[in-house]
Amino acid sequence: MTSRLARGVARRLVAMLAAVAALGFGARAQAAPDFSGVWQPVNPPLALHTVRGVEPPLLPAAKAVYDQHKAMLAKGDVSFDRTRTRCGPPGEPRIMTEAMPFDIVQTPTQLLFGYQWNRLVRFVKFDTKMDVLSPFYFGTSVGTFDGSMLVIDAEGFNDRFFLDRSGMPHSDQLKLTEYFSLGKGGQTMQARIHVEDPQTFSAPWDTVLHFRKLPNTRITEDICTMREKLVPPSLQFTQQ
């Protein structure tokens, strides 16, 4: 009797250990989704809008600047935009609204955005704390995975670029949280971007961008100074 009881306990113990091992194996086998590939913006907007389709809640001073930029743009005057006039980096998220594709290279420790636009790059580190060293055009980015979603927190931006191609301003207090998700078997990608900047907007707001994967495609070389009409050389190195 004692022997049968011992064998029963042993069998249950083995079963429990097997179940625990299976759970552990399943957790290890559930790899992070792969966002690698070349991506093309789908119908990129000239001006960013909230998910409700309205203009972001700009504070009065920022709205005055933005309205001026839009009025100039309507007349074909882009002198306010150093990305167009001096090939200044578009920054984030504007660069993802440009018509050019970008390449995502993903490793277990980091993710790289390789933009065709003037061969710019953006690094996203995984499993690390936010450590902002200096204000940059692409800020400092830290990534995590929430199930099948890639979440990127970014801050530490300078204020020398606009959020979109229509000239929407921001300050160096800008913080972005980007939620990337794949669709259609990994052939489409959506980015929901949460924007916070208390010096520019009266409240946080979200916008959504869409992309499609370009199979069998490589990023080609782009030299901004060869495709943009720049300001006269005598003015290119003056401070703004």
CATH of the domain at 124: 2.40.128.20
Q: Does pLDDT of 2 surpass 60?
A: no
Instruction: Determine the pLDDT at residue 30.
Output: 60
Residue 212 lies in a domain: yes
- Residues 18 and 92 occupy one common structural domain: no
- Residues 45 and 149 occupy one common structural domain: yes
Q: Roughly how many angstroms between the first and final C-alpha of the chain, as a whole number?
A: 90
- pLDDT of 82-115, one tens digit each? 999 999 999 999 999 999 999 999 999 999 999 9
- Residues 21 and 41 occupy one common structural domain: no
Residue 91 lies in a domain: yes
- Residues 218 and 138 occupy one common structural domain: yes
Instruction: Determine the pLDDT at residue 227.
Output: 81
45-56 average pLDDT score: 98
- Residues 20 and 74 occupy one common structural domain: no
46-74 average pLDDT score: 98
Q: Does pLDDT of 27 surpass 50?
A: no
Instruction: Determine the pLDDT at residue 226.
Output: 87
In DSSP terms, which residues pair with 103 in a beta bridge? 38, 114
- Residues 163 and 223 occupy one common structural domain: yes
- pLDDT of 136-194, one tens digit each? 999 999 999 999 999 999 999 999 999 999 999 999 999 999 999 999 999 999 999 99
Q: Does pLDDT of 74 surpass 90?
A: yes
Burial (0-12, 13-18, 19+ Cβ within 10 Å), 48: buried
Q: Which amino acid is at 110?
A: Q
Residue 102 lies in a domain: yes
- Residues 26 and 42 occupy one common structural domain: no
Q: Which amino acid is at 157?
A: F
Residue 194 main-chain phi, psi, to 5 deg: -95, 125
Query: In whole angstroms, what is the distance from residue 58 CA to residue 201 CA?
Result: 4
Give the C-alpha distances (Å, rounded to integers) separating 118 from 34, 100, 204: 25, 10, 31
- Residues 24 and 49 occupy one common structural domain: no
Residue 240 lies in a domain: no
Residue 74 lies in a domain: yes
Residue 114 lies in a domain: yes
Q: Does pLDDT of 235 surpass 50?
A: no
Q: Map residue 134 onto helix, strand or coil.
A: coil
Instruction: Determine the pLDDT at residue 8.
Output: 53
78-81 contact pairs (CB < 8 A, 24+): 79/231, 80/167, 81/162, 81/167
- Residues 167 and 97 occupy one common structural domain: yes
* 236 contacts 86 by C-beta, under 8 angstroms: yes
CA angle centred on 118, ends 112 and 120, rounded to 5°: 20
Residue 50 lies in a domain: yes
Instruction: Determine the pLDDT at residue 29.
Output: 42
Number of domains in the chain: 2
Range of the domain at 20: 1-30
In the chain, alpha helices (H): 2-29, 60-74, 82-86
- Residues 113 and 74 occupy one common structural domain: yes
Q: Which amino acid is at 210?
A: H
62-66 average pLDDT score: 98
- Residues 26 and 51 occupy one common structural domain: no
Instruction: Determine the pLDDT at residue 128.
Output: 86
Q: What percent of the chain has pLDDT over 70?
A: 82
- Residues 220 and 116 occupy one common structural domain: yes
